[in-house]
Amino acid sequence: MGFLDNSTITVDAILTKRGRQILSQGGNFKITKFALSDEEVDYTLYDVTHPNGTDSYGTVIENISLLEATPNRANFRSFLVNQTLAGAKLNVDQENYTSVEALTTIAIAPTTIGAPEETYTFVIENLNVVGFQSNLTGKSRVAKSVNLVAKPINAQATTTVTITGNTSGLSKVITITVKKDVAANTPPDAPQPSVDDFDWETSTSGTPEP
């Protein structure tokens, strides 16, 4: 999603490659949320010495060409968040997993620092590479923590898992690289397993996380 230009408020939104794949396969495709990013803005251009005064401090930034929508976008590098969450951070134990063996379990338990305790939405980019331990075809899940399993694939491949705080809106992207399994037949770029749009993680009490 992106603005067409700086003179209008018209927004251009296109489907990602993954979105078009789901739509072409007759999947249950629906947009339930979106994120705003300011990564194309260079805040060092904010000029407090501008001779025309405070109204002109941000003139250069306001005239920067904004990014247009792109179909192969995997994640943002920065997000716009509520100012009341200034200083809050979403932490994970590890952001990059390399040379992971097939069938290895990866536990991900994020924490939000400087904001109220919350649950998180976990979204897997490529289900051929990793899956949720209790539901290997689930693409997204809401929980406080999850266990992932590396899947057997016939070539080394990397996928991302995006974690978003459901109260704070803070986000973190984890990268997982799974090694080639010589006994595997599934290529990492094969059509992904049939996915459910939304899946609740079951707590130890047997009830879904709220």
pLDDT tens series, the chain, 210 aa: 555 555 665 666 677 777 777 778 776 667 776 666 776 677 778 888 888 988 888 888 888 776 666 655 556 656 665 656 667 889 999 999 999 999 999 999 999 998 889 999 999 999 999 999 988 888 899 999 999 999 999 999 999 999 999 988 888 999 999 999 999 999 999 988 765 444 434 333 333 333
- Beta bridge partner(s), residue 106: 148
- Return the H-helix or E-strand segment holding 195: none
Give the pLDDT score at 137. Answer: 81
Q: Are strands 157-165 and 130-132 parallel, antiparallel or unpaired?
A: unpaired
Give the pLDDT score at 142. Answer: 92
Order across the sheet with 146-150: list the strands. Answer: 105-108, 146-150, 130-132
Residue 80's region, left for phi above 0, alpha for psi from -120 to 50, else beta, is: beta
pTM of the model: 0.60
Contact 124, 140 (CB under 8 A): yes
Q: How far apart are the first and last CA of the chain?
A: 30
Reference 70, options 105, 30, 20; nearest CA is: 20
Give the pLDDT score at 80. Answer: 61
CA 166 to chain centroid, in Å, comes to 13
* Angle in degrees, CA 77, 30, 12, rounded to 5: 55
What count of other Cβ atoms lies within 10 Å of the Cβ of residue 196?
A: 13
Domains and CATH numbers, the chain: 2-62 (no CATH), 83-200 (2.60.40.1080)
Reference 153, options 190, 124, 187; nearest CA is: 187
Give the pLDDT score at 207. Answer: 34
Give the pLDDT score at 148. Answer: 97
